[in-house]
Amino acid sequence: MAAIYSMVGHGGGSGYLAVLALSGIAPEEMRPTALLLNIVVASIGTWKFGKTSTFRKDIFIPLICASVPAAFIGGYIEVPSTIYKPVVGVILLYAAIRLFVPIKGNEQSKQPSIMLIMFIGILIGIPSGIIGIGGGIFLSPLVLLLGWTTAKQTAAISAPFILVNSIAGLGGIAVDNSGLPVDFSFVTPLATAVVIGGVAGATFGSRRLGNQGLRTVLGVVLLIASIKMFIATQPQNTTMPVEVKSTQ
């Protein structure tokens, strides 16, 4: 999971949410766990993609200035499980569609205004903090569709964007809960696995971006998890026992 996502500069937050959803982990633990893993992989991606010459500071800095406080606020917001599960389901479904449909950046990227960039940062930051992802699945298709960046430029700004937003979102959760509701004995082996996958994926991705076959497989995984989330939100019918009185 980490290897596939890190190829395109992503941290893998939506993928981790899919795995955590299938594992049946409590909703209140899903967000901080996914964000912690996101931070690990995004740090690796930032290191690897930072060595390239495609990093767009003119877009990254305004994005972060707006998205960091927005992600912090989003992470501070506690969403009930009855709302949280369908919201995550929608996000995972969106991520699956995003992976099924390849989006290519323009050869000549546009230069947007700073105010528009900051507005997009807020638009991405708040829901990312609420849901527990770094926002890469929102950022990449958005900046590509708007023509702001090429595919390589998108990957180069996605990793540090996800890293900073994930830290901000995790900070909001920590403030809201006076700590992190995370089982570190559960997270540690996962973190070890994503480090290995993240290094492999980011190393390959920083040199040769894209592998639609792997992205399609990942899209199927996210689609299954999304369906599971929607099913989990359906009210379960419970039959009350009927007391039968005996007659003598």
Q: Would you list the domain boundaries of the chain? A: 2-232
Is 71 in contact with 135 (CB distance < 8 Å)?
yes
pLDDT value at 75 more than 60: yes
Return the SS3 of 135.
coil
Q: What is the mean pLDDT of residues 111-131?
A: 88
Is 44 in contact with 199 (CB distance < 8 Å)?
yes
Q: What is the mean pLDDT of residues 161-188?
A: 83
Burial (CB count <10 Å: 0-12, 13-18, 19+), residue 232: middle
Per-residue DSSP letter, 198? H
Among candidate residues 112, 114, 111, 94, the one with its CA nearest the CA of residue 103:
94
pLDDT value at 217 more than 70: no
Is 25 in contact with 190 (CB distance < 8 Å)?
no
Per-residue pLDDT tens over the stretch 87-99 = 778 877 887 787 6
Q: What is the mean pLDDT of residues 1-10?
A: 79
Is 162 in contact with 134 (CB distance < 8 Å)?
yes
| Token pair listed for 195 | 């480090």
pTM for this model (two decimals):
0.76
**Residue found by looking up tokens 């070890």 in the block:** 192
Among candidate residues 128, 153, 148, 143, the one with its CA nearest the CA of residue 67:
128
Alpha helices in 101-211 (DSSP H): 114-131, 136-145, 151-177, 184-205
Among candidate residues 32, 21, 27, the one with its CA nearest the CA of residue 227:
21
Is 1 in contact with 222 (CB distance < 8 Å)?
no
| Token pair listed for 80 | 């009930």
